[in-house]
């Protein structure tokens, strides 16, 4: 009986650790809206929202930015993937006390992307 309780506890702990690993807790993301716009080529259109983004490592070991991605969210929790980004935000190591700053653009065929107001950093880069 004790074996099964221990096994169940370890299994649940594994799920908790996996959930915490999806968004780094020791990286601050400061995002300021820079512009909104649209793109059209023939019959195809897309909407774009651009942010100036600063990433700061608050504590711990250096982080490999190539393993992370930026995601924008609207107040109604819709998620928008990154389209164009300054290389400094996606490569190299982020070190404590050495923030990096660049531009990140999120696009969508739907104009809802213009409502995006929050930018987060994540390990879930599908």
Q: Say what the pTM is.
A: 0.79
> For 48-106, how does the pLDDT look when each residue is reduced to its tens digit (9 = 90+)?
999 999 999 999 889 999 999 999 999 999 999 899 999 999 999 999 999 999 999 99
Res. 16 pLDDT band, cuts 50 70 90:
very low
Q: What is the pLDDT of residue 102?
A: 98
Taking the C-alpha atoms of residue 94 and residue 43, their distance in angstroms, rounded to an integer, is: 41
Domain 24-122 has CATH 3.40.50.300: no
Residues whose CB falls within 8 Å of the CB of residue 53, separated by 6 or more in sequence, listed in order: 29, 30, 31, 70, 89, 101, 102, 103, 104, 119
CB atoms within 10 A of CB 102: 16
Mean pLDDT for the chain?
Answer: 85
What's 88's DSSP letter?
G
């Amino acid at each position: 009986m004790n074996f099964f309780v221990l096994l169940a506890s370890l299994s649940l702990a594994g799920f908790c650790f996996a959930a915490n690993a999806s968004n780094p807790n020791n990286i601050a993301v400061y995002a300021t809206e820079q512009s909104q716009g649209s793109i059209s080529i023939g019959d195809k259109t897309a909407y774009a929202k651009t942010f100036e983004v600063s990433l700061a490592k608050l504590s711990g070991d250096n982080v490999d930015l190539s393993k992370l991605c930026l995601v924008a969210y609207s107040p109604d929790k819709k998620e928008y993937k990154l389209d164009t980004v300054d290389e400094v935000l996606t490569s190299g190591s982020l070190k404590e006390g050495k923030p990096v700053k660049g531009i990140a653009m999120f696009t969508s065929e739907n104009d809802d992307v213009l409502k995006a107001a929050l930018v987060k950093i994540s390990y879930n880069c599908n």
